[in-house]
Structure 1
Amino acid sequence: MRLDWALLANAAEAPANGLVYILGAGFDTLIRDQFPTPFGGVIVLRLQTTRLETERPHKVEVHGSDEDGRPVLAKPIVLNLPARQVPAEYPHGWDLAASIVINLATVPIDRPGFYNFEIMIDDQQVRTLPFRAVKAAAVQTV
């Protein structure tokens, strides 16, 4: 199993039709009025498997930490993906894709700084999604 792409977004939906509907995709900066604050977003993943890989179970994990290495998730998010049968109409050599949305809306971000979410597939780290959290600038009114 391999990670085709991964990104942070404000919101997303991955219905069974194979499309992914994403709002506010690809950000790397959270701007918040105060801290602590909820992350308020999602991770969107697109995974691909060959025919052989599809017929075996897989595990996807997400770990999160701040710039000091302290975890921001109480425990890693673990998705156990069961083995699937490849539909008969799929030609040999055709990779199967799966899109996954992981809701991180309530994950606490304690203070401004640098953070990251680490993505692992079958016990191997495959991607880091870094982001920073900053305090919103005060708006002056006249």
Structure 2
Amino acid sequence: MKQASVREPAVAGRFYPENKTELKRLIDKIYQAEKSKIDLSLADRNIYGAVVPHAGYMFSAYQAIHFFEIIKNSKQKFDTFIIINPNHTGYGTEISLDENDFWKTPFGKVEIDKDFYNVLDFDYAADAHKYEHSGEVMLPLL
């Protein structure tokens, strides 16, 4: 049996805290600062996707948390989230699916739902995702 592969965090400790307690504290602080500005009426709509900022939390999380709170309060039940992110590093192919089975975060491992991979006509390239921050910074907020 093949051992599950895990993508290690590339930017934990730089773009967001790598310590679970510190990360939770920061996300709570950001939520408290933004909660009165979040338009939760959007949670009543059908949600198909969003463009979410993807940088260090000091630059992006104050805006990104709006989307994550909206989906958290949505009447829709989500089984899978598809995170499409740019390849800032240039490693691997320009468009690819990650080969790993899990992505590690300070909160634990997130399983990659590979059930739909067979309907997507993309290359698989762990290199393209190994050092890329844009998808990684979404996971602790999700």
- TM superposition score category, shorter chain reference: under 0.3
Larger radius of gyration: 1
- TM-score relative to the length of structure 1: 0.28
* TM-score after normalising by structure 2: 0.28
